[in-house]
Amino acid sequence: MSTVDLTGQVALVTGGARGIGSAVVHRLAKLGARVAVLDLDAAGAHRVASAVGGIAIAGDVADPATMPAVVEQIEKEFGRLDVVLLNAGIGGGQTGVDDALDVDRYRKLVGVNVDHVVYGLCAAVPALRRQGGGRIVITASLAGLTAMPADPLYTLTKHAVVGYARAAGKALAGDNITVSALCPGFVDTLLLGAAKEEFNSVAFPLLTPSDVAEALQTVLAQGEPGEAWTIQPGGRVTAYDFRGVPGVGGGKMPPEVVLGRI
């Protein structure tokens, strides 16, 4: 595990009241950061923030007004922002394939899993620029790198944020802002729901939230712009090796296309 010193730095964790978010809050505080905990669960956010001497903020991450207001509050409270973990997320709750689509539930899913990431990154970037740079990590999933037929809509959202992290990472690298995605396998959190019993019945190994927090520490220490990092039980946290996109005649995609010049 790589070490990183966050003494004097300020971090924001969305969805920080439980599970991965809570474990990350404790890890960041242990590394020296002052942490702001954002969650829809006000009591949970307060409980976690109090344990590390941080601040709790209640808010709906899917509301476009929330993330700018949160960043503004953090800068007023601490004078800076250096590290952002856009971690809040929910499950699909419907297949989106062979049943009648519940549009309200679908919009909530996209609002939390995708929109909040965009709102959060756009709100954080000006604050990070004022510090000369910083780090943004998006909690994605292995479902962002491969198909998860049990939940196609969740898969859709996680593919979206992995793609966003890869592109935004390259776009912001010149500002000394490193954007990465963290893609854990199945983690023992409430998000598993009833599926946890199925995993237990076949002795399927699950990651713990602490495993993911430890992986995040490695990403903060070693991550390069636009990378997606994976972690599985018993495995080493690793930057995923994406295949290149073929260009004309099977060659590599020209840099002019990749950079958006044509």
E-strand stretches of the chain: 10-14, 34-39, 55-58, 83-86, 134-139, 177-184, 228-231, 238-239
| One-letter identity of residue 164 | Y
Helix axis angle, 66-78 to 116-130, nearest 10°: 30
Phi, psi dihedrals of residue 138, rounded to the nearest 5°: -105, 125
Check: CB of residue 14 under 8 Å from CB of residue 21.
yes
Catalytic residue among 106, 119, 154, 164: 154
One DSSP character per residue, 118-182 reads: HHHHHHHHHHHHHTT-EEEEEE--GGGTS--TT-HHHHHHHHHHHHHHHHHHHHHGGGTEEEEEE
154 is catalytic: yes
Residue of 258, 211, 251 whose CA lies nearest to 233? 211
What residue has token string 């939940």? 151
193 Rama class: left (phi>0) / alpha (psi -120 to 50) / beta: left
Check: CB of residue 228 under 8 Å from CB of residue 162.
yes
Active site residues: 154
